[in-house]
Structure 1
């Protein structure tokens, strides 16, 4: 169930222990995909994972702004510092745990959040606040659809869950202006800190390579992986009391 749509009495009566906390970003995804891509995809995966679990997981409101200063040159991008992001996520998890939603999977849609989420989840778990783990949906999936940025994998999932948000008439321009890979690498070192240093339009990869059907398959696979992770977190929490 979606937490924001319930009353407090609904939540009390549900007696749930497992929560999904979607985290994303508000940042450029090229000329064809919306700034909210990472939040939209994270929320879609969280809801699909909860459906696999037959509603046993509460889906918390999505955190829509993350660690994204690398995209600052592109209009509309928002970001917070890593310290601010870590603190905010930690305090949301603490709030969930206060109401006994103390088995938390942070469902993430933005690569820039990954390191901070690892730290936060480790800390709240070690402190005994909650049993928490991060789950980044695109860390698995079809090897035939490279991740990129605003590339095949993200665009395919958007075509399935939010097709009206994809500017299909701009996909070809996005493809033509895209970089082949993230960064500018020399001897294993990335010399570029910001995305505009290696991609003129912000895209990495081919946004035209993934279809809505591919997105449907990606969502189903991600939901199954998320449900498996959530079940394991719940079982570990039960064993450890």
Structure 2
């Protein structure tokens, strides 16, 4: 059930402890993909998995602003601090848990959220307010994950399949021309760059022309299957903390 579309009485009738919380960002994705790419993809994976799953799952509204300051030189990018992001995820997760939906998979679509998301899910679980598990969809698509850049082949493919009207097809070639072929500027296994504008002219990393709709269909299928498997594991797991040794 999409929580945003339900009435409170609809929600009250649900017999489940499972919820998914999509999180993403509002940040530049080159000249061809929308600022909302990360939360759109996360919500799509969450909703598709919930529809395909054989048990009832609550789909919370997405958190649409994330830890994205690394894209601040590109107009339209919004960001919050890692502290604010963690606090918001925790508050929303605890809100879900207060209604009995206390097994929460946080479905993430933005790489900049990963560190903070892992930290807050551990904290929520250790404190016993809920059992929270982070899931980043583009880490769960097999060998395709090796091609994950930024507004590159994977995200472009996903959008071309699931939300084709959001892709500015007349700008894809320009996106490729101004792209970097990898993230960051590396020396001695350290990234010297702080912001993406240091190494990509137009915000793109990777070749978006390599992401067609057929590949996007496979990406959504792989991510959805992985999330359904994770929901099974979360539903069946004993979330209690081990005793002191």
TM-score interval, smaller chain: over 0.9
Cα distance in structure 2, aligned partners of 1:144 and 1:179: 18
Q: CA deviation at 1:140?
A: 2.4
Are residues 1:31 and 2:68 paired?
A: no
Q: After superposition, where does 1:66-85 map in structure 2 within 5 Å?
A: 66-85=66-85
Q: After superposition, where does 1:1-241 map in structure 2 within 5 Å?
A: 1-54=1-54, 56-144=56-144, 146-237=147-238
2:132 counterpart SS class: strand
8 A Cα contact 1:103 1:237, kept in partner = no
Equivalenced residues, count: 240
CA deviation string 1:31-87 (max 9, x = no partner):
000000000000000011112214611100000000000000000000000100000
Cα distance in structure 2, aligned partners of 1:13 and 1:104: 18
CA deviation string 1:149-174 (max 9, x = no partner):
00000110011111001000000010
Q: Which runs of 5+ in 1 are unaligned?
A: none
Q: CA deviation at 1:209?
A: 0.3
Cα distance in structure 1, aligned partners of 2:239 and 2:89: 24
Cα distance in structure 2, aligned partners of 1:142 and 1:155: 17
8 A Cα contact 2:144 2:154, kept in partner = no
Cα distance in structure 1, aligned partners of 2:108 and 2:238: 21
Moved over 6 A (4+): none
Tell me the TM-score normalized by structure 1. 0.97
2:28 counterpart SS class: coil
